[in-house]
Structure 1
Amino acid sequence: MLTSRTLTFVKRSAAIGAVALATASLQPVAAHAAPAPIVGGTPAAQNEFPFMVHLSMGCGGALYKKDIVLTAAHCVEFTGNDTSITATAGVVDLNAPGAIKVKSKKVLTAPGYNGKGKDWALIKLARPIDRPTLKIATNTRYNKGTFTIAGWGDTKENAGTGSDKLLKAKVPFISDTKCKQHYGNRLVAGQEICAGYPRGGIDTCQGDSGGPMFRKDDSGAWLQVGIVSWGDGCARPGVPGVYTEVSKFASAISRAAATL
């Protein structure tokens, strides 16, 4: 996503949502910035990441359950009934004839979300999507190593167009200490996890918000460790992407899903 590195920063969605908290924010309830469809990414193969979901407000997400999408809080406006969102799944090309499109029924934003930290939300779908779900991390064991990112967002900073094709890339874990060298106290340690290359060049971006950051667990299954949240610009040298640390909120997400 776009943001001045010294003045303002915005979330990494292309959605129009709730009132922004930053004076020059381009995203809903944004007090931060976010990463690309994947800047520096390559095309994903059909069914490579079958849990991926594109959301019509300009965000991404993953199937937490067959009828529930896990995404970012800044992608939605409130908690309650909402039939305005269209979830597209089953394809890497959004224009492909086999696309599965399902309307939303309800949304639930993380309790206490105010634009900083706690950037997760659930979208209840009008009917289940018969695609594999993505398991989420319940502890910090896998919050290290190299992660996979995927999305339909911008391929470069300020592009503002997004991508019809799902792109993917790999990014390495960045410690809170190193991440704070750029973001300082803007980083909510313990609730957010950083990833990226010191040289830049590969990152999520505007339009990727809400999508998963994931890796393989010991059994070889995909496991979600992060949610695309924010960052200063896209793929800039020395500027990591910031993701919601899923394991921190795994219990809260499970409880919330049970109420939908």
Structure 2
Amino acid sequence: MTRHAPERRGLTTLKRATATGAAALAVAGLQPGSAHAAPVPIPAPVVGGTPAAQGEFPFMVHLSMGCGGALYRNDVVLTAAHCVGRSGRNTSVTVTAGAADLRSTAAIKVKSTKVKRAPGYHHKGRDWALIKLARPLDLPTLNIAEDGRYNKGTFTVVGWGATQEGSRSRPGKLLKAKVPFVGDGQCKRHYGNRLVPAEEMCAGYPRGGVDTCSGDSGGPMFRKDDSGQWIEVGITSWGDGCARAGVPGVYTEVSAFAKNIAWAADTL
């Protein structure tokens, strides 16, 4: 399930877009991708999370198709490929920023103008995409990891997705949680050849209980760098269910695509 966005996470789903978001994509002719051999991704919220304070993660944005994302540049959002359709002109996405509570009057809304999906994306690995905004936002951006040195330790995940597997309820308030790194060998004990180690990484607790879920797809997984600043190391992508024991969440390994992402942003 894709966890994250039009659902890649949930039940072998892309991790996590909402059903409503997936429907909206279909209407717009944008077909969300599937996590594994080809399940359609399903978004989900942070399971086992706690409310984030207003302004705590100012780079975090919500996408109208039911995914999350982070400001890579003031006018460019980094999200998951399975959350968007093909590359090109696209004015159908509404980006909500500047508010932990989506119903807040402080929320800023801006439309998309273009989408750039990872070249060669075929619903397995390479799960990243960029969305160009109609105007730049006066908000902090989130740097991305350019090498694998930060692919370890404990990460922060955030999202507006479901708070438990199978739930269609969305709190509307940004939730946050901590999840530890899980090595490729341990992660493959569950996912086997469905995992693409060179392009994906895993995180989660052996006992489960904390995880991203449907509607969280595309959101950042991040930690502090050596200077104490937040840095994005993963993009919520997919997983089997949400917060199950022995089943880590799967995230796009950002450092594997850092140069590609920078080039794509320059060409938007």
TM-score under structure 1 length normalisation: 0.92
Letter in 1 for 2:115: V
Q: Does 1:122 align with 2:125?
A: no
| Residue in structure 2 matching 1:30, options 8, 31, 34 | 34
Q: Any gaps of 5 or more consecutive residues in structure 1? A: 19-26
For the residue of structure 1 that corresponds to 2:240, the secondary structure is coil
Return the alpha-carbon distance in structure 1 between the equivalents of residues 2 and 201 of structure 2.
Answer: 19
Asked whether the 8 Å contact 2:58–2:139 carries over to 1, the reply is: yes
Report the CA distance shift for 1:34/1:218 in structure 2 as closer, same or farther (over 3 A): farther
SS in 1 for 2:99: coil
Match of 2:105 in 1: 97
Shift of 1:34: 6.7
Q: CA deviation at 1:36?
A: 3.6
Corresponding residue SS for 1:227: strand
Contact persistence 2:125–2:200 (CA under 8 A)? yes
Query: Deviations 1:159-218 (Å, cap 9, x if unpaired)?
Result: 022220000000000000000000000000110010000000000000000000000001
Indicate the structure with greater strand content.
2
Output the aligned Cα RMSD.
Answer: 1.7
Question: C-alpha separation between the residues in 2 aligned to 1:211 and 1:222?
Answer: 14
> What does the per-residue CA deviation read over 1:50-100, in whole Å, with 9 as the maximum and x for residues that have no partner?
000000000000000000000000000110111110000100000000100
| Alignment of structure 1 residues 162-173 onto 2, 5 Å | 162-173=170-181
Give the match's secondary structure for 1:231: strand
Question: Do residues 10 (structure 1) and 13 (structure 2) align?
Answer: yes
Q: What SS does the corresponding residue of 2:244 show, helix, strand or coil? A: coil
Whole-angstrom CA distance in 1 between matches of 2:201 and 2:263: 22
Q: Which runs of 4+ in 1 moved over 4 A?
A: none
1:42 alignment partner in structure 2: 50
Give the Cα–Cα distance (whole angstroms) in 1 for the partners of residues 54 and 103 of structure 2: 13
Q: What is the total number of aligned residue pairs between the two structures?
A: 249
Distance (whole Å) between structure 1 residues aligned to residue 93 and residue 124 of structure 2: 24
Alignment pair present for 1:176 and 2:172:
no
Shift of 1:10: 1.6
In the alignment, which of 214, 233, 243 is matched to residue 222 of structure 2? 214
Secondary structure (helix, strand or coil) at the match of 2:259 reads helix
Equivalent positions of 1:31-70 (< 5 A) are 31-32=35-36, 36-70=44-78
Percent identity of equivalent pairs = 68
- Tell me which amino acid in the other structure corresponds to 1:190: A
Indicate conservation of the 8 Å contact 2:43/2:66, yes or no: no
- Cα deviation, residue 37, structure 1: 1.8
Specify the alignment match of 1:242 in structure 2: 250
1:35 Cα offset (Å): 7.3
How far apart, in 1, do the equivalents of 2:73 and 2:84 lie? 18
SS of equivalent to 2:121: coil
